[in-house]
Structure 1
Amino acid sequence: MNDHVDAMSDALNPKADSAMLPFIKGHGTGNDFIIIDDLAEEHDLSPLQVAALCDRRRGIGADGVLRVIKQDDIFFMDYRNADGSVAETCGNGLRVFCTHLFHRGWLESGEHIIGTRGGDVSVVIDSSGLITVNMGVAKALASDCSVTIAEGRTFKSQAISMPNPHCVAVVGSLADAGALVGKPSVPADVFPSDANIEFVQIHDRGHITMRVWERGVGETLSCGSGACAAAHAAAAQADNNVARGVNQGAGRAR
């Protein structure tokens, strides 16, 4: 999808109400993003502007914004959550980001390094444009953790860095997570900057399903880094039986 949005409307920036900002919309297994090319770094959007763009009723609507920056010879993914806050990385965002660069002709097939706030990430693009992201090694943030849903039920969980923070609870059924209409709470001493929260159901060998509440967004259809954290948590609880794929609301990550 190609279009233009007046990201500098009177409500957002009265001094630049005539500026038009080109954008592209993309998604990875339903996790959708607004992509803005800003190689010259001329449009450092404020949190208010990002939130307005991501508003599904009054803006374009998205789970986040991917701003394309080029620093020296490396593309940098400036990722913002739907509420305007910044994040270390985004797995689905990286796939969408690199797909965009590939279709633009800015990246060819092969291995590339993409910069993120969480560090440089290796990605491989095959000749058809299929993207594989090396998300790195999951790291434990704490030995003991829990998450409490709005209905008051508390689940034992695992605190994992991908390197963005994840709180993963393995549950008997995804329905145990409730309606997820309100933000689940996590311990502030473990997650001082809050966390993405995953509820994971282990079905059989190599098969798990997941629901996710993304920090700064709410419940989304999928989360790439969350799928990695979920696979790590499931393996720790299922005798190192690593999931070959993670089924989410709008697709399967592997």
Structure 2
Amino acid sequence: MRVLKGHGTGNDFVLVPDLDGALELTPELVRALCARHTGIGADGVLRVVRAAKDPDGARYAADAEFFMDYRNADGSLAEMCGNGVRVFMAYLQRACVVDHDAAVATRGGIVRVQTGADGVITVDMGQPRVLADRPVVTAAPLPPTPGARVELPNPHVVVEVGEPADLAALELSDPPLVEPARPGGQNVEFVVRTGPRQLLMRVHERGVGETQSCGTGICAAVVAAATAEGSERDDTVWQVQVPGGSCSVTWRADGTVLLSGPAVIVAELDLDDSWLEAALAAAGSA
């Protein structure tokens, strides 16, 4: 079985080409692939399948040929992944099945993806929802702090902290406490303003843990920061620095959010047959 490894600003993925939808991607197999010490190691799995061949993608097949079946490292489903869809696009181009522009179906809907001449990939992430409630977030040593709840389409809570040193001191090995929490969990972004339209961010992703980057989280952070200062939908470019690199975000006047950043295919790998057999057997007996 051939897979690929890729990343977008350090947010890393195992890509599983399965154009005809022949593979049963169980949570147990996802966890085995993503295991850092005994598998390939990744924040999640991107299964590349034709939309018409997947039960969740079939409703989009008339408008998007390919469906991004994204799973978090713990095997749970996610609506969308902003870094993942850029890596997904990089694979589609590598496989010569799209040119520089594509519609990609996700569980959060269809997104348009475009690769520029410089190799930077831009994703139209759609329109965010800024919710009115202000959940309280606690992550040591930060005291309980209200955050902004944003859906894009993944659920996020964005918390502003004062200084880069405060951001660096956060303990994110465990999920931050969010009250009230969303029943299915949420990603939590902690941000510092480092200049006009500039943010520094760390993130804890549901189903994964702290990651080097989160594309939907980067967008949610910009939406929350722009809303707080009254500069939403002004077509200006924000820069967001995460541990794995930098992405730019534009909240356009029409309400849509554009995310731009790099995507890297690291390697193509042939899984060892005995390892895969053992992983599938373990999945079947779980």
Given candidates 162, 174, 179, the residue that maps to 2:171 is 179
- Please give the secondary structure, in 1, of the residue aligned with 2:177: coil
**Map of 1:123 onto structure 2:** 113
1:88-125 CA-to-partner distances (Å, cap 9, x unmatched) read: 0000000000001001101112x321000001111112
- Report the AA paired with residue 173 of structure 2: V
Q: Larger deviation: 67-76 or 213-222? A: 67-76
- Report the AA paired with residue 155 of structure 1: T
User: Structure 1: any 5+ residue segments left out of the alignment?
Assistant: 1-20
**Map of 1:92 onto structure 2:** 83
Q: Larger deviation: 98-107 or 66-75? A: 66-75
- Report the AA paired with residue 244 of structure 1: W
2:28 equivalent to 1:40? no
TM-score, normalisation: structure 1: 0.86
Given candidates 104, 112, 123, the residue that maps to 1:133 is 123
Is the CA contact (8 Å cut-off) linking 1:102 and 1:129 kept in structure 2?
A: no
What is the CA–CA distance in structure 1 between the aligned matches of 2:43 and 2:37, rounded to whole Å? 13
Number of aligned residue pairs: 232
- Report the AA paired with residue 200 of structure 1: V
Q: How does 1:147-162 map to 2 (within 5 A)?
A: 147-151=137-141, 153-162=143-152
The Cα of 1:129 is off from its aligned counterpart by: 4.3
Is the CA contact (8 Å cut-off) linking 2:139 and 2:171 kept in structure 1?
A: no
What is the CA–CA distance in structure 1 between the aligned matches of 2:164 and 2:81, rounded to whole Å? 23
- Please give the secondary structure, in 2, of the residue aligned with 1:96: helix
- Please give the secondary structure, in 2, of the residue aligned with 1:153: strand
Give % identity.
45
What is the CA–CA distance in structure 2 between the aligned matches of 1:114 and 1:227, rounded to whole Å? 20
Q: How does 1:100-249 map to 2 (within 5 A)?
A: 100-109=91-100, 111-127=101-117, 129-151=119-141, 153-176=143-166, 178-188=170-180, 191-240=182-231, 244-249=238-243
Q: Larger deviation: 72-81 or 141-150? A: 141-150
Is the CA contact (8 Å cut-off) linking 1:138 and 1:161 kept in structure 2?
A: yes
What is the alpha-carbon root mean square deviation over aligned residues? 1.7
- Report the AA paired with residue 160 of structure 1: V
What is the CA–CA distance in structure 1 between the aligned matches of 2:109 and 2:10, rounded to whole Å? 25
TM-score, normalisation: structure 2: 0.77
**Map of 1:252 onto structure 2:** 246
What is the CA–CA distance in structure 1 between the aligned matches of 2:194 and 2:29, rounded to whole Å? 42
What is the CA–CA distance in structure 2 between the aligned matches of 1:150 and 1:128, rounded to whole Å? 40
The Cα of 1:174 is off from its aligned counterpart by: 4.5
Q: Which has the higher contact order (CA 8 A, sep 6+)?
A: 2
Is the CA contact (8 Å cut-off) linking 1:95 and 1:133 kept in structure 2?
A: yes
1:18-60 CA-to-partner distances (Å, cap 9, x unmatched) read: xxx2100000000000000001111121111101110101111
> In structure 2, do the counterparts of structure 1 residues 47 and 150 end up closer, same or farther at CA, with 3 Å as the change threshold?
farther
Q: How does 1:42-81 map to 2 (within 5 A)?
A: 42-72=22-52, 74-81=65-72
What is the CA–CA distance in structure 2 between the aligned matches of 1:50 and 1:157, rounded to whole Å? 31
Q: Larger deviation: 83-92 or 138-147? A: 138-147
The Cα of 1:239 is off from its aligned counterpart by: 3.5
**Map of 1:16 onto structure 2:** none
